[in-house]
Amino acid sequence: MLSKNNNLNPVDLKLVIFDLDGTLLDTTDEIHYVFNKVLTVNNLPLQSKKHYKDNIGNGIDHLLTKILPKDFTGNYKSILSQAKELYSIYLNKKAKPFDGIYDVLDLLGEKNISIGIVTNKIHTLAERCVELFFNKYNIITIGAEYLYPKKPAPDSALFLANKFNFQPANILFIGDSQVDICTAKNAKMLSAGVLWGNGSEAELKNAGAGKIFAEPLDLKTYLMDQLN
């Protein structure tokens, strides 16, 4: 646990909301592969894995604008449609849960803490990921292009608060980017950042993360302390 902030002291924690990509699932290789394939099909220059890591988190349309050449004048809508199709085809071919994530989710289940996911991944794709990797957990997932605006808008997080009938003060939102921390703040929920995904410690600190965890084990240890 790296952050020394003291503004994450949940009273009667009831619900933990996770981001998906970069928090529960390691998907950077998959995103790198899929979107470079899109670029290849359209004879456009490829991007590095680091470039993808630096731009993941705001949804597929935003990512596409970041990987296309600055002087791109082609049919953006057509390429976006291709990207969505290829992403659906190659979904979960390279993705995998981060080591230690199942231990965190098992702990929450043992302590009867509700679990939600709010992600800027397209909702239907997010549901497929959760069904494949986290089917044994009772998780409600809200993704993009579904009911509400994308993060950092608080709508999806507040929907889960209402769905479970818990107050924001009793909810912890965990993610790997400033988008997630801003979502938590906008929803008036507690926030925690993680460093095993795509965001940096500086980014998470600047966004105001209540705590920052280096490894899933650190998060599990913290939750054990809070839930005893």
In the prediction, which pLDDT does 195 show?
Answer: 98
Helix (H) or strand (E) segment spanning residue 36: helix 28-41
* Same domain, yes or no: 47 and 21: no
In the prediction, which pLDDT does 12 show?
Answer: 84
Boundary-marking domain end, from 58, 90, 122? 90
* Same domain, yes or no: 70 and 161: no
* Same domain, yes or no: 108 and 53: no
pLDDT per residue rounded down to tens, the chain (228 residues): 444 444 455 558 999 999 999 999 999 999 999 999 999 999 999 999 999 999 988 889 999 999 999 999 999 999 999 999 999 999 999 999 999 999 999 999 999 999 999 999 999 999 999 999 999 999 999 999 888 999 999 999 999 999 999 999 999 999 999 999 999 999 999 999 999 999 999 999 999 999 999 999 999 999 999 888
* Same domain, yes or no: 83 and 100: no
**DSSP helix/strand/coil, 110:** helix
Does residue 216 have a cis peptide bond before it, meaning omega lies within 30 degrees of 0? no
Domain that holds residue 53: 28-90
In the chain, how many domains are there? 2
* Same domain, yes or no: 34 and 20: no
**Residue 216 falls inside a structural domain:** yes
Return the residue matching tokens 């709508």. 155
In the prediction, which pLDDT does 1 show?
Answer: 41
Give the number of other Cβ atoms within 10 Å of residue 148's Cβ.
Answer: 18
Angstrom distance (rounded) from CA 10 to CA 169: 7
How many helices (H) and strands (E) the chain has is answered by: 10, 8
**Residue 6 falls inside a structural domain:** no
In degrees and rounded to multiples of 5, residue 166 shows phi and psi of -120, 150
Angstrom distance (rounded) from CA 20 to CA 139: 12
Please say whether the dihedral angle defined by the alpha carbons of residues 119, 121, 127 and 131, taken in this order, is positive or negative: negative
pTM here is 0.93
**Residue 105 falls inside a structural domain:** yes
Strand order in 114-122's β-sheet? 139-144, 114-122, 15-18, 171-175, 190-194, 211-213
Long-range contacts of 81-84 (CB under 8 A, 24+ apart): 82/38, 82/41, 82/42, 83/34, 83/35, 83/38, 84/60, 84/122
* Contact (Cβ atoms closer than 8 angstroms) between residue 178 and residue 199: yes
